[in-house]
Amino acid sequence: MSRLRWQIGEVSIDLIAESCTPFDRAFLCPNSDQARFDRHTPWLRPHFIDEEGRLLLSIHSLLIRSREKNILVDTCLGEGFDFGVFPDAGNTFMKNLQAAGVDRADIDVILCTHLHYDHIGWNTMLEGDRRIPTFPNAEYLFAKEEWLHWTNSGKADSPSTLAECVQPIIDAGLASFVETDHRITNEVELEPSPGHTPGHVSVKIRSGGHEAFITGDAIVHPVQWAEIDWGNADVDHDLSQAIEARRRIRDRCGDTDTLIIGTHFAPPSAGYVRKNRDGWWFEARIQTSGPDDTLVRADDVSR
DSSP states along 30-62? TT--HHHHHHHHHHHTTTTB-TTSPEEEEEEEE
| Minimum CB distance to Zn ion, residue 164 (Å) | 17
Q: Compare residues 118 and 139 and give the one whose CB is closer to Zn ion.
A: 118
Among the listed ranges 39-47, 99-107, 212-220, 283-291, the one in contact with Zn ion (CB under 5 A) is 212-220
Q: What is the dihedral of CA 240, 245, 246, 247, to 10 degrees?
A: 90
Compute the distance between CA of residue 124 and CA of residue 139 in angstroms, rounded to an integer: 13
Q: Compare residues 58 and 287 and give the one whose CB is closer to Zn ion.
A: 58
DSSP β-bridge partners for residue 187? none
Task: Find out whether 44 and 50 touch, Cβ atoms under 8 Å.
Answer: no
| Minimum CB distance to Zn ion, residue 123 (Å) | 14
| Minimum CB distance to Zn ion, residue 255 (Å) | 26
The size of the interface with Zn ion (CB under 5 A), counted in residues, is 2
| Minimum CB distance to Zn ion, residue 33 (Å) | 23
Q: Which of 14, 18, 79, 118 binds Zn ion (CB under 5 A)?
A: 118
Compute the distance between CA of residue 216 and CA of residue 78 in angstroms, rounded to an integer: 17
Q: Compare residues 60 and 131 and give the one whose CB is closer to Zn ion.
A: 60
Phi-psi domain of 101 (left: phi exceeds 0; alpha: psi -120 through 50; beta: other): left
Among the listed ranges 61-69, 81-89, 217-225, 252-260, the one in contact with Zn ion (CB under 5 A) is 217-225
DSSP states along 128-172? TTEEEES-TTPEEEEEHHHHHHHHHS---SS---HHHHTHHHHHT
For Zn ion, the binding residues in 62-81 under the rule CB under 5 A are none
Among the listed ranges 117-125, 221-229, 251-259, 271-279, the one in contact with Zn ion (CB under 5 A) is 117-125
| Minimum CB distance to Zn ion, residue 242 (Å) | 12
Tell me whether strands 175-178 and 188-192 are parallel, antiparallel or unpaired.
Answer: unpaired
Among the listed ranges 9-17, 92-100, 211-219, 293-301, the one in contact with Zn ion (CB under 5 A) is 211-219
Q: Which of 164, 187, 217, 227 binds Zn ion (CB under 5 A)?
A: 217
| Minimum CB distance to Zn ion, residue 263 (Å) | 7
Among the listed ranges 48-56, 110-118, 154-162, 233-241, the one in contact with Zn ion (CB under 5 A) is 110-118
* Residue 80: DSSP 8-state: S
Compute the distance between CA of residue 296 and CA of residue 303 in angstroms, rounded to an integer: 17
List of residues contacting Zn ion (CB under 5 A): 118, 217
